[in-house]
């Protein structure tokens, strides 16, 4: 699979700014991640997730899932990235909707 130029450029930019990136996502995940989504779209978000994971910062991404201000589609993409599929509502609670 050939990577797009947008992805490659964003990945390299994020990787170069890793100490700042880790701090920004740790302190303000929703704002930081939404900013990447607004500026670079889906490829930028994938580059962000990959850069953090490749640098060994999976826990930062796990904690980012708790951010109430993160855009819905981005949160879903992060769940799939971390866990392989969207989290399922437990069957016990599915009847309450």
**12-67 residue pLDDT tens:** 999 999 999 999 999 999 999 999 999 999 999 999 999 999 999 999 999 999 99
Cα(57)–Cα(32) distance, integer angstroms: 15
Of residues 60 and 95, more confidently modeled: 60
Spatial contact of 14 and 51, defined as CB atoms under 8 Å apart: yes
**What pLDDT is recorded for position 6?**
85
**What pLDDT is recorded for position 88?**
55
């Amino acid at each position: 699979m050939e990577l797009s130029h947008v992805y490659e450029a964003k990945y390299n930019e994020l990787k170069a700014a890793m100490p700042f990136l880790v701090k920004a996502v740790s302190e303000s995940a929703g704002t930081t991640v939404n900013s990447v989504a607004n500026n670079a779209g889906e490829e930028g978000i994938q580059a962000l997730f990959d850069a953090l994971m490749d640098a060994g910062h999976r826990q930062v991404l796990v904690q980012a899932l708790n951010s109430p201000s993160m855009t819905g589609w981005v949160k879903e993409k992060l769940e799939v990235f971390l866990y392989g599929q969207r989290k399922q509502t437990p069957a016990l609670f599915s009847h309450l909707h």
